[in-house]
Amino acid sequence: MNAVPKLNAHTLRADFPIFEQQMHGKPLAFLDSAASSQKPRQVLDAMTEFYETSYANVHRGVYVLAERATEALEHARERVRAFLNAPDVREVIFTRNATEGINLVAYAWGLSNLGPGDLVVVTELEHHSNFVPWQFIAGKTGAEVRMIPLDEHGELDLSVLEGIAHDGRVKVVATNLISNSLGTINPVAKLAEWAHAQGAIYVCDAAQGAPHTKIDVQALGVDFLAISGHKMCGPSGASALWGRAELLQAMDPFMTGGHMINSVRLEKTTWGELPHKFEAGTAPMAEAVGLGAAIDYLEAIGLDAIEAHEHELAAYALGRLGDVPGIKLYGPPADRRAGIVSFNFEDIHPHDVAQILDLQGVAIRAGHHCCQPLMQKLGVAATNRASFYLYTIPEEIDQLVDGLHAVRKVFA
């Protein structure tokens, strides 16, 4: 018997209407969940029900619909808090996507706290969304950006840290928890400790982490953490940023306008309390409700079961792909990665691979995965990437492997 809880992907798959159709006359093998996951009926129903029975603008209305809507939104906020084990629900800010969460910190913290001589430390593994905002705000403030390089296993080479700390004041360390290209799981808790020893804040991009592993912001010891709702069975349009209350309270707001104020005068405007200070204008209300329902869905299955399922699939995929002639695999071994596998044929471009796979019902991603610095490091323009989620079944990986043999035949 297995101590790790197991999920039954074949059963869960029935919750996802998208799989009720065929692609080019073949079953759909959807292996692009790292870009965005599919949605279970439970999430779609929660949003529709909200619109049909409880919709109104939140927080101000004294009538029933407004109260229901406010309660639903705030309940979703509490679900996010619990999901991240955040100490205080007021630390949870709804954003459109993980990118906005990181921009919020880069602007609202960075514009007033960064300056010449300051360093922002990122990694070669970062998604553009956790690199470009830092580069952009560093450019506006005179700070500099440094990258922690990768070693040959696709893991971070932490031996450079000491040298970096000698080059300037480290003010921000920003890394992802799980790489969206290689599936690498990064040593966030360790890096956060190092960041704090430098007097820096630690910003964690958990866009790939949150769907796949249990997150505990207190155990990780980070200061900000961004998640991406649409990658964890939630709808597009709602994600969340968590931040430490002391930091959020001391910061300027990011976007300003309706809802986020305490009082507005021509002479002076004062900001509202957390989390409202960071939520200007009408919130993505139904989408936040959908995100709350997604968290209910994930937690009913269990994050540990999801994680175990993905490790199993990653191991299976690495094994089967390794047998396809001419394939080069990137990234760490199966036991040190999430359910993401990047690979290339030596002589066939990923676009062609993905296109031919599509004709066989297999959806993978081909491109730089918003990781151009990593691609440069790997010496390629692009890779193929197959990524898995709780509804992924081994048959889809078999379909991928069969498809890759067909790709080779075309280019033989």
Partner 1 sequence: MDAGLESLYREVILDHYKNPRGHGVIEHADAEAEGQNPLCGDEVSIYVAFGEDGETIDEVKFSGRGCAISQAATSMLMEMTKGRTADDVASLDKEELLAEIGVPLTPVRLKCAMLGLTTLKVALHKAKGTPLPDGLAGFDDLELT
Ligand X SMILES: Cc1ncc(COP(=O)(O)O)c(C=O)c1O
List the interface residues with ligand X, window 99-138 (CB under 6 A): 99, 127, 129-130
Residue 213 near ligand X by CB under 6 A:
no
Q: Are 400 and 364 in contact (CB under 8 A)?
A: yes
Q: Is the dihedral of CA 12, 13, 14, 16 positive or negative?
A: positive
CB of 181 to ligand X, least distance (A): 8
Cα 281 from Cα 132, distance rounded (Å):
26
CB of 402 to ligand X, least distance (A): 27
Q: Is 148 helix (H, G, I), strand (E, B) or coil?
A: strand
- Of 260-289, binders to ligand X (CB under 6 A) are 281-282
Task: Report phi then psi at 225, rounded to 5.
Answer: -145, 125
**In 10 A of CB 263, how many CB atoms?**
9
Only one of the segments 192-200, 208-216, 253-261, 395-403 lies at the binding site for a copy of itself (rule: CB under 8 A); that segment is 253-261
CA angle 272, 238, 126 (to 5 degrees): 100
CB crowding 288-313: b at 16 or more within 10 Å, else e: bbbbbbbbbbbeebbbebbbbbbbbb
DSSP class of residue 253 equals -
- Of 142-201, binders to a copy of itself (CB under 8 A) are 145, 147
CA angle 395, 154, 2 (to 5 degrees): 45
Binding positions for partner 1, rule: CB under 8 A? 24, 59-62, 66-67, 70-71, 90, 259-263, 272-273, 276, 349-352, 355-356, 359-360, 366-368, 372, 375, 381-382, 406, 409-411
As given in the structure block, the two tokens for residue 219 are: 């155990």
Residue 10 near a copy of itself by CB under 8 A:
no
Q: Which residue lies nearer to ligand X by CB, 188 or 348?
A: 188
Q: Please give the helix or strand (H or E) that residue 372 lies within, else none.
A: helix 372-378
User: Could you tell which of ligand X, a copy of itself, partner 1, none binds residue 18, using a CB distance below 5 to 8 A set by kind?
Assistant: a copy of itself
Active site residue 233: no
Only one of the segments 155-163, 200-208, 391-399, 401-409 lies at the binding site for ligand X (rule: CB under 6 A); that segment is 200-208
Q: Are 306 and 132 in contact (CB under 8 A)?
A: no
Residue 98 near ligand X by CB under 6 A:
yes
Residue 294 near ligand X by CB under 6 A:
no
User: Could you tell which of ligand X, a copy of itself, partner 1, none binds residue 208, using a CB distance below 5 to 8 A set by kind?
Assistant: ligand X
Up-side HSE of residue 227: CA atoms within 13 Å toward CB?
34
Q: Which residue lies nearer to ligand X by CB, 1 or 62?
A: 62
CB of 275 to a copy of itself, least distance (A): 15
Cα 97 from Cα 127, distance rounded (Å):
13
User: Could you tell which of partner 1, a copy of itself, ligand X, none binds residue 176, using a CB distance below 5 to 8 A set by kind?
Assistant: ligand X
CB of 69 to partner 1, least distance (A): 11
Cα 273 from Cα 110, distance rounded (Å):
21
- Catalytic residues, which ones? 370
- Provide the binding-site residues for ligand X, judged by CB under 6 A: 97-99, 127, 129-130, 176, 180, 205, 207-208, 228, 239, 258, 281-282, 370
